[in-house]
């Protein structure tokens, strides 16, 4: 069974927990997720099955949309509502909407973040949360991320000291850290009070599948009907169409002459009519060739 399932991850489960449950439901091992979502967060978590696991890096690389609640007056060790309090003050004079919007404008585009200590970022072969749990300090590497859109939205937790945010951003963006940094610029300690991922690539909340829906489909023998095509996960990649002769070469994983369509050193989806064959990129050893990154060994037609 091959395809992508746009899972709605519930609160309380890690992304790895979701993969393990999916393996039990589908009775197969070749399953992988496409971007870690915090245990206390819920939202869209595309799961790749079978041949679709070959596109995990490309689907993980797509932009994400989140709805978060930014709460002023308290910072925590984990930068979210679950962590121990680091600093807490009474917010006597909350910022106005205009003041918040003025600060949000400064976070559009490329920004630099320092990952939270309670995160899975690795330093010297160890995850940051391992250092944190051992009460060890380590220098955290800065990372550059891109905020495409950042605006205030209604939220069930909205109040004088808390406001909702919709964030469209690149992979690797820590929304917890974004909330903390927004609070700092407003002059208050802050943390992320809630988080929901509403979109990953082409997969949205409106077409996400819950575990309850999966269990029901399993009983009815209709699990395969819930899967989306592999191509849905790589719609952001530019496409190069090849003829039947080249298709055979692609199937054998051969290097190809650089097509005229190649204008940037990025992944390209190779197709023969409606069939996706592989993902290719420039050959770093020969700028007149492209080489395979992933080759699909079975025919995968778009649905």
Question: Which DSSP symbol is given to 225?
Answer: G
Helix (H, G, I), strand (E, B) or coil at 16: helix
CA atoms of 95 and 197, how far apart (whole Å): 26
DSSP letter string over 22-58? HHHHHT-S-EEESS---TT-EEEEEEEEGGGGGGHHH
Exposure b/e, 169-180, CB count within 10 A at least 16 = b: beebbbbbbbbb
Query: Would you mind telling me the total number of residues written for the chain in this entry?
Result: 303
State how far the Cα of 121 lies from the Cα of 4, in Å rounded to an integer. 26
At 216, phi and psi to the nearest 5?
Answer: -65, -40
- Which residue out of 38, 61, 80, 181 is catalytically annotated? 38
Q: 218, 106 in Cβ contact below 8 A?
A: no
Residue 273 buriedness (CB in 10 A; 0-12 / 13-18 / 19+): exposed
Residue 285's Cβ-count burial label (10 Å; 0-12, 13-18, 19+) is exposed
Beta strands in the chain (DSSP E): 3-9, 31-33, 42-49, 64-72, 74-76, 85-88, 109-113, 122-123, 126-127, 143-153, 162-169, 190-200, 203-204, 239-241, 256-257, 268-272, 275-283, 286-301
Rounded Cα gap, residues 198 and 71, in angstroms: 20
Is there a catalytic annotation at residue 61?
no
Write out the catalytic residue numbers: 38
């Amino acid at each position: 069974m091959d395809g992508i399932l746009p899972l709605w991850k519930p609160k309380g489960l890690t992304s790895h927990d979701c993969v393990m449950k999916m393996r039990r439901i589908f009775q197969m091992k070749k399953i992988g997720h496409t971007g870690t979502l915090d245990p206390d967060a819920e939202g869209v978590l595309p799961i790749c099955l079978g041949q679709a696991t070959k596109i995990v890096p490309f689907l993980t690389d797509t932009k994400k949309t989140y709805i978060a609640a930014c709460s002023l007056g308290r910072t925590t060790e984990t930068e979210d509502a679950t962590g121990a309090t680091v600093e807490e003050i009474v917010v006597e004079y909350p910022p106005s909407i205009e003041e918040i919007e003025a600060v949000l404008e400064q976070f559009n585009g490329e920004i630099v973040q320092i990952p939270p200590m309670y995160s899975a970022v690795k330093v010297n072969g160890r995850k940051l949360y391992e250092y944190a749990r051992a009460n060890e300090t380590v220098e955290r590497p800065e990372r550059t991320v891109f905020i495409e859109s950042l605006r205030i939205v209604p939220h069930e937790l909205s109040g004088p000291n808390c406001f909702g945010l919709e964030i469209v951003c690149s992979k690797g963006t820590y929304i917890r850290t974004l909330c903390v940094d927004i609070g700092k610029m407003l002059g208050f300690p802050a943390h992320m009070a809630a988080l929901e991922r509403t979109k990953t690539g082409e997969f949205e909340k409106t077409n996400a599948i819950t575990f309850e829906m999966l269990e029901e489909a399993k009983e009815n023998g209709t699990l395969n009907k819930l899967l989306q095509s592999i191509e849905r996960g790589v719609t952001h990649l530019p496409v190069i169409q090849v003829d039947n002769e080249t298709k055979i070469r692609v199937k054998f994983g051969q290097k190809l002459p650089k097509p005229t369509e190649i204008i940037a050193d990025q992944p390209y989806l190779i197709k023969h009519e409606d069939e996706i064959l592989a993902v290719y990129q420039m050959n770093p050893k020969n700028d007149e060739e492209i080489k395979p990154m992933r080759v699909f060994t079975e025919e995968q037609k778009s649905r």
